[in-house]
Chain A
Amino acid sequence: MKNTALAFIFVYIALVSTLSNAHHVLGRPSYSLNEDSNTPPSMAIETQIGEYFITYMVFPAFPKPNEPGRVNLYATRIDNGEVLAQPITFSVRDDSFFTETLGFGQAESSEQIGVQTIDDGVYRQGFLFRKKGNYIVRAYFEDGGEPYEIDFPLQVGESSPIGPIGATIGFIFFLLLSINIAQRKRIARSKVQQGQSVR
């Protein structure tokens, strides 16, 4: 009994103490106009990391395979609004479940797509994806001797409605619900019988 309790406490503390070692940003679509044209909506993300306030935009909001798109990134200091002047390296990696989480699939998981310098207050990085999927775009720069790594999600093409984890969890939930509804009277009886025999 003690061992089980200790094991559980260990898992509990391990989960509490898990620290994320990258700044992984989840965004929400924002539908501002492109400064070049008035057509495509964009995915926009705003976040703070270290000394900087970062704004990230994707054009278009729903990029498709074999259609060019672009990332715009703005980085300004939180304290005085000064614009970052260091080059930013953009790389991309596959974020689908089997490659990212389980480590299957392509061995070459990360690919550099460009190094950009600031242009009129903005870092612009073009991209063209051949295959649909979920990707992570990483912006990397160094400032004040500190490395900055910011991961942004990017979905290319239509997303799959449900992944393997979702399917498993959905199945477990459906199973629990079905048992509870179909066997509710038997469960109620058993509960009383088992409870009385235990006490």
Chain B
Amino acid sequence: MNEPLNSINAKPFFLWKHLNKLRWLTLSVVFLMLILIPLLSIYQHYVAAQGYNHLSPSETLLYDSMEFISAPFVDDAEHDLDAIKGTTWSGQLFGVKLTDPLAVIGQVSAGFEVYWPFALTALLPVIATVIFGRFFCGWICPATFLYELNSNASVWLNKFGLKSGSRRFNRKFKYLVLAVGIGLSAFTGTVLFASVYPPAVLGRELYFSIALSGFGSGTLFFVLTLLFDSLVSKRGFCRYLCPGGALYSLLGRYRVFRIKRLVEQCNDCSKCNAVCEFGLNPMQDDFGGECNSCSACIAVCPKDAMTFTLAIADSKNQGPGHQSRTYRKNEKHPKSPTAKDPCINIQNID
């Protein structure tokens, strides 16, 4: 089953190379939806009130704008717009109710019972995670959109001498956060994850700020996570602290759809490692449960040596890429010391 989704030794399917652009588009759309939904909600209220003549000029502008946007899709705005509600934490998309699995875990631990109508709304995300792994983190999470913008801005600021944090911690720490969160939820009877889970916080704060003209403490929390990422550890919150990331990593550990290195084409340039936001090591086939399938490594690879594959486990370290000098050297001198450890001296080659 461990076969790339294109024939062996051939170039990866050409679309894989452009998936990263599609991912940015997806993240942007999700983020824009989180802004649009509260605006549509306000518009719904105005429609329900039949209160156009009571509105102030700015409210009238909002009414007209939302009417323009939604008119092609709905006949009866007051009711039809109910099809899109909520946030990525829990919401409704064209009538399908979807919930973040972490919300269900939180509810179950806080209430000591499974409320099945709610739990079942997490079924689709769970199935998708089992197949695609931690894709939510890379493709949907609205916080990722801001974290990646922030991460890129930090790279840019490095050029001006403003060094960003590059500390590394134990990745397993986030599992502890997940376990402590479950324990505290059970102890307090409150779904505490909603207070510290960035997509939930962001969705809620965006709704508050737009629909209700205010911010909660979640905004401060989110700004702190951005600062942590910038000053302490690149994408540190997602990598070391996010309880949702921990859950998705666990669920996606044996995912079916994963990225694989084509060792025959790899030249060990390490660009894949350099662009990996989660600090993984694709060049040595180390993706694990952490990979969010962002496909940045596929996009940056000059030799098209990264592709998607169907497998429930990563390949074991395949050694140096066959296009690398190290490999060629080993081929010529198989008894050289580097033959024992293919990972030595493979940096900055090419």
Footprint of B on A, CB under 8 Å?
1, 4-5, 8, 11-12, 15-16, 18, 26, 28-29, 31, 41, 61-62, 134, 153, 155, 158-159, 161, 163, 165-166, 169, 173, 175-177, 179-180, 183-184, 186-188, 190-196, 198-199
Measured between beta carbons, the chain A residues less than 8 angstroms from B152 are: 179-180, 184, 187, 191
Q: Mark B273-303, 1 if CB is under 8 A from A, else 0.
A: 1111000000000000000000000001000
The complex places the Cα of A75 from the Cα of B153 at a distance, in Å, of 52
Q: Mark B128-154, 1 if CB is under 8 A from A, else 0.
A: 000000000000000000100110110
Measured between beta carbons, the chain B residues less than 8 angstroms from A180 are: 149, 152-153
The complex places the Cα of A36 from the Cα of B274 at a distance, in Å, of 69
Could you list 8 examples of A-B contacts with CB < 8 Å?
A12-B196, A155-B213, A163-B213, A165-B209, A179-B156, A191-B152, A192-B300, A196-B274
Measured between beta carbons, the chain A residues less than 8 angstroms from B219 are: 165, 169
| 8 Å CB contact of A186 from B58, B59, B156, B271 | B156
Whether the Cβ atoms of A8 and B228 lie closer than 8 Å is yes
| 8 Å CB contact of A165 from B167, B215, B276 | B215
Mark the stretch among B3-11, B48-56, B114-122, B310-318 that contacts chain A.
Answer: B48-56
Kindly report which residue of chain A lies nearest to residue B49, judged by CB atoms: A31
The number of residue pairs between A and B whose CB atoms lie closer than 8 Å in the complex comes to 115
| 8 Å CB contact of B212 from A26, A175, A194 | A26
Whether the Cβ atoms of A190 and B159 lie closer than 8 Å is yes
The complex places the Cα of A180 from the Cα of B56 at a distance, in Å, of 36
- Once A180-B153, A191-B275 are accepted as A-B contacts, the answer to whether A161 and B48 lie under 8 Å apart by CB is no
**Which residues 147-182 of B sit at the A interface, judged by CB distance below 8 A?**
149-150, 152-153, 155-156, 158-159, 166-167, 169, 177
Whether the Cβ atoms of A190 and B156 lie closer than 8 Å is yes
Kindly report which residue of chain B lies nearest to residue A20, judged by CB atoms: B217
- Once A29-B45, A176-B146 are accepted as A-B contacts, the answer to whether A199 and B184 lie under 8 Å apart by CB is no
The complex places the Cα of A163 from the Cα of B209 at a distance, in Å, of 9
Measured between beta carbons, the chain A residues less than 8 angstroms from B209 are: 165-166, 169
Whether the Cβ atoms of B241 and A199 lie closer than 8 Å is no
Measured between beta carbons, the chain B residues less than 8 angstroms from A191 are: 152, 155, 274-275
- Once A4-B167, A192-B271, A195-B274 are accepted as A-B contacts, the answer to whether A187 and B232 lie under 8 Å apart by CB is no
The complex places the Cα of A139 from the Cα of B215 at a distance, in Å, of 23
| 8 Å CB contact of B56 from A158, A165, A175 | A158
- Once A165-B215, A195-B273 are accepted as A-B contacts, the answer to whether A176 and B195 lie under 8 Å apart by CB is no
6 more CB-based (< 8 A) A-B contacts, given A134-B213, A196-B271: A16-B192, A16-B196, A169-B215, A176-B149, A179-B153, A186-B159
Whether the Cβ atoms of A62 and B54 lie closer than 8 Å is yes
Decide yes or no whether B16 CB sits under 8 A from chain A.
no
Measured between beta carbons, the chain B residues less than 8 angstroms from A16 are: 184, 192, 195-196
The complex places the Cα of A169 from the Cα of B58 at a distance, in Å, of 21
CB distance from A171 to the nearest CB of B (A): 13
Whether the Cβ atoms of A192 and B153 lie closer than 8 Å is no
Footprint of A on B, CB under 8 Å?
45, 48-51, 54, 56, 58-59, 146, 149-150, 152-153, 155-156, 158-159, 166-167, 169, 177, 184, 192, 195-196, 208-209, 212-215, 217, 219, 221, 224, 228, 232, 241, 270-271, 273-276, 300, 347-348
Question: When A and B form their complex, which 8 residue pairs have the shortest distance between CB atoms, in order from nearest?
Answer: A195-B274, A31-B49, A176-B149, A158-B56, A192-B274, A29-B45, A179-B153, A187-B152
Measured between beta carbons, the chain B residues less than 8 angstroms from A176 are: 146, 149-150, 153
Kindly report which residue of chain A lies nearest to residue B192, judged by CB atoms: A16
Whether the Cβ atoms of A4 and B49 lie closer than 8 Å is no
- Once A12-B196, A12-B241, A29-B49 are accepted as A-B contacts, the answer to whether A18 and B217 lie under 8 Å apart by CB is yes
The complex places the Cα of A194 from the Cα of B150 at a distance, in Å, of 16
The complex places the Cα of A192 from the Cα of B283 at a distance, in Å, of 14
Whether the Cβ atoms of B275 and A195 lie closer than 8 Å is yes
Whether the Cβ atoms of A11 and B224 lie closer than 8 Å is yes
CB distance from A48 to the nearest CB of B (A): 15
Measured between beta carbons, the chain A residues less than 8 angstroms from B184 are: 16
| 8 Å CB contact of A161 from B58, B146, B150, B221 | B58
The complex places the Cα of A177 from the Cα of B155 at a distance, in Å, of 14
- Once A12-B241, A41-B51 are accepted as A-B contacts, the answer to whether A196 and B195 lie under 8 Å apart by CB is no
| 8 Å CB contact of A196 from B49, B58, B158, B270 | B270
- Once A12-B241, A15-B195, A173-B146 are accepted as A-B contacts, the answer to whether A194 and B155 lie under 8 Å apart by CB is yes
Whether the Cβ atoms of B213 and A198 lie closer than 8 Å is no
The complex places the Cα of A62 from the Cα of B55 at a distance, in Å, of 9
Whether the Cβ atoms of A187 and B274 lie closer than 8 Å is no
Measured between beta carbons, the chain A residues less than 8 angstroms from B49 are: 29, 31, 41, 61
The complex places the Cα of A173 from the Cα of B214 at a distance, in Å, of 17
The complex places the Cα of A6 from the Cα of B152 at a distance, in Å, of 26
Measured between beta carbons, the chain B residues less than 8 angstroms from A177 are: 149
Measured between beta carbons, the chain B residues less than 8 angstroms from A173 are: 146
The complex places the Cα of A198 from the Cα of B270 at a distance, in Å, of 11
CB distance from B348 to the nearest CB of A (A): 6
